[in-house]
Amino acid sequence: MAFLIQKYQQLLLDIQKSCEKVGRKAVNVKIVAATKYSTVEEVNDALQVGITDIGENRVQDAIKKFPLLTVPCTKHFIGHLQTNKVKKAVELFDVIESVDRMDLLEKLAAETERVDKKLDVLLQVNIANDGAKFGCDPVEIDALIERLRSAKNLVFKGFMAIVPFAENVEDSRLWFRKMRQIFEKYQMKYGTLDTLSMGMSHDFQVAIEEGATQVRIGSLLF
């Protein structure tokens, strides 16, 4: 636990430095602990030291872990969501960050209405047109937003992106900047958007400098 506290405090310090560099406030950057490779015990420790949001990649892992969590938290789904897992995902999660196609959106809209549950949603954009990543093409955004905003129980909060891995994190800056531009465009159109989820353990500092409001951190914590 002491080592985790040390790592968490270092992460907070690094976020603070990145924010100061571009005149932002660290309080406006949320940490989502990416728990894909973590045990229940590790997740509970993270919640004890101050983490308030966790992100899981697989529904089957959430089924095993979530009943054993000892501290309330906001649960994000951050992986690729198959339509046959929508029912359980709606039951387990508070936020779906990886909505990237119309059939998934239709399933989420129907299930949330069936169980009468509000669910926050981010659109995942494949900003670099990377064949190894999921996400919608930027040209599909308008159609997805139109359907999303018509759904009774889905709340459109913003965007998520996973950019291509680059040894030199500066090589990722362009993609983060393009995502910020998309976010700002639609934030201006729909004033309620407040979430731009981008940046992970390797590149979160550049993502913050380019406008991320939320970073997904795994290996720097666990």
For 20, the token pair is 């100061």
Q: Would the pLDDT of 132 be above 90?
A: no
Place of tokens 């005149």: 23
DSSP for residue 163 = P
| pLDDT tens digits, one per residue of 65-124 | 999 999 999 999 999 999 999 999 999 999 999 999 999 999 999 999 999 999 999 999
Question: What is the arithmetic mean of pLDDT over 37-54?
Answer: 97
Q: In whole angstroms, what is the distance from residue 77 CA to residue 121 CA?
A: 10
pTM of this prediction exceeds 0.75: yes
3.30.450.40, 3.40.50.970, 3.20.20.10, 3.20.20.80: CATH of 2-217: 3.20.20.10
Predicted pLDDT of residue 2: 82
**Contact assessment for residue 152 and residue 113, using Cβ atoms and an 8 Å cutoff:** yes
Residues sharing a CB contact under 8 Å with residue 72, sequence separation 6 or more, in sequence order: none
Q: In whole angstroms, what is the distance from residue 179 CA to residue 133 CA?
A: 15
